[in-house]
Amino acid sequence: MAKTASDTTTQKTPHARNPLLSLDTIAGLEREVVEIDGTRYELLHPAELPISVLRKLERMGQDFADVDEDDEEVAERLLRQTVPLILQAPDTVIGKLTVSQLYGIASVFTDLQPAARRPTAPESGNGANRSGTGSKSRRGSRGSTTARRRTTGSKGARASSSR
């Protein structure tokens, strides 16, 4: 008798790991809703955004993280650029929102993807040779001290007295 897809089960091997990434198709996706002045507006899900928008949001998120705490104008500008990309609401509605309200919308958007779907830090080891993403740093890359070490006694090495 032939097995159908519903008859098969996933078997765990002794060396099986947790999934690195768990994906769902967009067909069953339900959008979250933000209510503003009694009207509901749909918040787009990261899974339905084109890669160009996701990359733009990623850059803007990094820019926002780098903003000085006292620079309210830059933070507001970034939030006013971000929210129209993720909330299906008229510009007039978004324009009336305060900075803290914009921040709240951006925050719930970033929380839409469950933590189980995000890459996690390695489970074992001390992580000393890992970057902030959990990947190993390459020899000579920023954050690596290997490229900055000097060996003495090799050709071309600077003498410590020449400093």
Q: What does the pLDDT look like over 137-150, one tens digit per residue?
A: 444 444 444 444 44
pLDDT of residue 152: 45
pLDDT of residue 22: 76
Q: Is residue 8 assigned to a domain?
A: no
Instruction: Determine the structural domain holding residue 99 and report its residue range.
Output: 48-113
Instruction: Identify whether the C-beta of residue 99 lies closer than 8 Å to the C-beta of residue 79.
Output: yes
12-50 burial string, b = 16+ CB within 10 Å, else e? eeeeeeeeeeeeeeeeeeeeeebeeeeeebebbbeeeee
Q: Is residue 71 assigned to a domain?
A: yes
Query: What is the total count of domains within the chain?
Result: 1
Q: Is residue 90 assigned to a domain?
A: yes
Average pLDDT for the chain: 73
Asked if residue 64 has pLDDT above 80, the reply is: yes
pLDDT tens by residue, 26-54 = 666 788 999 999 999 999 988 889 999 99
How many Å apart are CA 32 and CA 48, to the nearest integer?
A: 13
Q: Is residue 120 assigned to a domain?
A: no
Residue 99 neighbours by CB distance under 10 Å: 13
pLDDT of residue 13: 60
Q: Is residue 68 assigned to a domain?
A: yes
pLDDT of residue 69: 87
pLDDT confidence tier of residue 151, bands split at 50, 70 and 90: very low
Q: Is residue 42 assigned to a domain?
A: no
pLDDT confidence tier of residue 133, bands split at 50, 70 and 90: very low
pLDDT tens by residue, 84-127 = 999 999 999 999 999 999 999 999 998 886 543 444 444 444 44
Q: Is residue 89 assigned to a domain?
A: yes
Q: Is residue 99 assigned to a domain?
A: yes
